[in-house]
Amino acid sequence: MEQRRLEDLKARRAEMARIRKAKQRRAMLATISVILSIVLVIGVVVLIALTRYRPLVDSLTVEAGSVVEPERFLAQPGLAFGSEVYYKSNMAAFDMSKEGDYTVEIYVNGKAHTTIMRVRDTVPPTADPVEMTINAGLMPAPEFLVTNVRDVGLVSASYQVAPDVSKGGKVVAQVKLTDEAGNSSVIAVTLTIIDDTVPPEVQGATDRTFYVGDPIVYTGAYKDQNGNEYPEVLAVDDKSEATLSVDRDAVDTEKAGTYPVIYTAKDAAGNEASVTVQFTLVDKPEGYVEPDVVYGLAQEVLDEITTEGMSKMEVAFAIYRWTSRNIGYVGSSDKSSWTGAAYQAFTEMSGDCYNYFAAAKALFDVAGIPNVDVVKSDTSRSHHYWSLIDIGGGWYHVDCTPRSNPGKFFMNTDAELEAYSVKNKNSHIFDGSLYPDRATESVQDMVDYAKGQIVEN
């Protein structure tokens, strides 16, 4: 009996041990199942995250005309650190000046991703005002009142409110600028209104002569190959600033001939006036001597015959005496250019009246003494040339050519020169209207021809 109870006890203990092991096994399997489920869930989440990961924003709005770096498309700015980001798309193919939506491909760490770039223009155009003077009643187009217009695209101009230009004074025009995207701005422009119907004048426009190949001076002050001086050509108006334009299209600078040149002056009110002159181009004579060469020879002579401290009248008299005393007279000369005649006078010490005149002209020029060429008007018996000079008291005649019937020809008035001329077959007859007004007061009491000096009064 006792033996049986022991066996039953062992059997119950064995069953309890089996049941305990079974529970432990079930608990272990449940734990493993939970762990596997968690791992599976985490895996699914990671897989979903990896499948749906986008390093770029879905779209980015940028300003028209701007430069957009690829890093701006990153979903998180911090991703740019340590990452390799660059465009796969050719950005030059996109017109950044116009609004539009563009698909852009960008490499992020070697993998291409796509996004949308939305180009929008939100900045209004800007410009600088052009203040203008206009004639009453003339309404300028609004686009002429602005300059340096700045915008990525085309800009149109209109008046926000049209100014009243019917009468003189100042008004402010409101010019509205509108770009292609509809952005607009307003520029205030001051207009000066004048009542002007009188055209401007063209001053200083005269016929001019040049050698073929030499620079042609159209508007500046100019001295031609004969030493004739021409003033600057100007546009002058009594009420406003005037502009000068030159139509020189007809001039062939490489061919001798006479060509029309048209000067046009235009004032701020739009009034115009034109003057047509003739420019003559001539071939340089054979053996032509450049003025600089002649002036160099004249300067050598001037340095010998003048001293520091001499008055202008003393310098002019020294020129007169040297020229008339040192050049030998011959009956003819080459009169194709004054520089050639002066060169002959300085180098050969010979010539006729034209050489005397030319040498004196060169000397007056380098001495800074204003001089004008005078040509005898009646050439039926002979030709003759001399000068007018102005040393500060008006224009006087100077003739350096010696004569068989002696005369005193330094700083003569018209009356003094005429008194000699009428007694010597009209030797010095000339058309006074072609030359500047001459002085009438005699200075002969200051000139001592015998001693070769100027006498103080």
> What is the full per-residue pLDDT of the chain (457 aa) written as tens digits?
677 777 667 767 767 767 777 677 776 776 777 676 665 655 544 434 443 468 999 999 999 999 999 999 999 876 656 689 999 999 999 999 989 999 999 999 999 999 999 999 999 999 999 998 888 888 899 999 999 999 998 999 999 988 999 888 899 999 999 999 999 999 999 999 888 788 999 999 999 999 998 899 999 998 877 667 889 999 999 877 899 999 999 999 999 999 999 999 998 778 899 999 999 999 988 888 989 999 999 999 999 999 999 999 999 999 999 999 999 999 878 888 899 999 999 999 999 999 999 999 999 999 999 999 999 998 888 899 999 999 999 999 999 999 878 889 999 999 999 999 999 999 999 999 999 999 999 999 999 999 999 997 5
Q: Which amino acid is at 165?
A: V
Cα 193 from Cα 191, distance rounded (Å): 6
4 domain residue, yes or no: no
Cα 235 from Cα 266, distance rounded (Å): 8
25 domain residue, yes or no: no
Task: Kindly report the CATH number assigned to the domain that includes residue 257.
Answer: 2.60.40.10
Residue 264 CB-half CA count within 13 A: 10
Same domain, yes or no: 187 and 83:
no
Same domain, yes or no: 337 and 444:
yes
Same domain, yes or no: 225 and 331:
no
Q: Is the dihedral of CA 180, 185, 188, 193 positive or negative?
A: positive
Same domain, yes or no: 299 and 435:
yes
Q: Is the dihedral of CA 341, 345, 348, 351 positive or negative?
A: positive
Residue where one domain finishes, among candidates 166, 194, 222: 194
Provide the H-helix boundaries in 367-444: 414-423
13 domain residue, yes or no: no
Same domain, yes or no: 161 and 258:
no
Concatenating the DSSP letter of every residue in 309-374 gives: T--HHHHHHHHHHHHHHHSEE-S----S-HHHHHHHHHHH-EE-HHHHHHHHHHHHHHTT--EEEE
Q: Which residue segment(s) compose the domain that 378 sits in?
A: 291-454
Same domain, yes or no: 116 and 130:
no
Number of domains in the chain: 4
142 domain residue, yes or no: yes
Residue where one domain finishes, among candidates 172, 194, 216: 194
143 domain residue, yes or no: yes
- The neighbouring-strand residues paired with 373 are 387
Same domain, yes or no: 295 and 342:
yes
Same domain, yes or no: 438 and 307:
yes
Same domain, yes or no: 378 and 405:
yes
Same domain, yes or no: 255 and 302:
no
Output the pTM of the full model. 0.53
Same domain, yes or no: 277 and 298:
no
Same domain, yes or no: 216 and 80:
no
> In the chain, what are the helix, strand and coil shares in percent, each to the nearest 5?
30, 30, 40
With vertex at residue 10, the alpha carbon angle to CA 7 and CA 16, rounded to the nearest 5 degrees, is 145
Residue where one domain finishes, among candidates 143, 167, 194: 194
